[in-house]
Amino acid sequence: EDQVTQSPEALRLQEGESSSLNCSYTVSGLRGLFWYRQDPGKGPEFLFTLYSAGEEKEKERLKATLTKKESFLHITAPKPEDSATYLCAVQAYGQNFVFGPGTRLSVLP
């Protein structure tokens, strides 16, 4: 059974304090690993897709990396507007997305 765990459950950072969020997964035949951002009262917003180990994607202050067992979302010099829940999801071939529980990020000014 495909499984996704995320750590930490919650993270509080000062503005400018860089950190990383972890997504660990087990899946039979990874088709893609996805990162989403979710703001309160909103649906998840797509950030990145990673397909194979060693791949990296960047968008503004965010960089996602992938290994065979986990993915990291690195946040460089975060700003308060980066506060949100970050969700990781995996998709196996022919299967639906399986989401992790998310990491709630708070960036304090």
Stretch that binds other proteins, among 13-21, 28-36, 63-71, 72-80 (CB under 8 A): 28-36
User: Quick one: 16 or 101, whose CB is closer to other proteins?
Assistant: 101
Q: Is 44 one of the binding residues for other proteins (CB under 8 A)?
A: yes
101 closest CA partner among 35, 5, 3, 2: 5
Q: Is 72 one of the binding residues for other proteins (CB under 8 A)?
A: no
Q: Cβ(39)–Cβ(105) under 8 Å?
A: no
- Whole-number minimum distance, CB 77 to other proteins, in Å? 25
Q: Cβ(7)–Cβ(19) under 8 Å?
A: no
User: Quick one: 72 or 97, whose CB is closer to other proteins?
Assistant: 97
Q: Is 90 one of the binding residues for other proteins (CB under 8 A)?
A: no
User: Quick one: 19 or 55, whose CB is closer to other proteins?
Assistant: 55
Strand order in the sheet with 56-59: 3-7, 19-26, 70-75, 62-66, 56-59
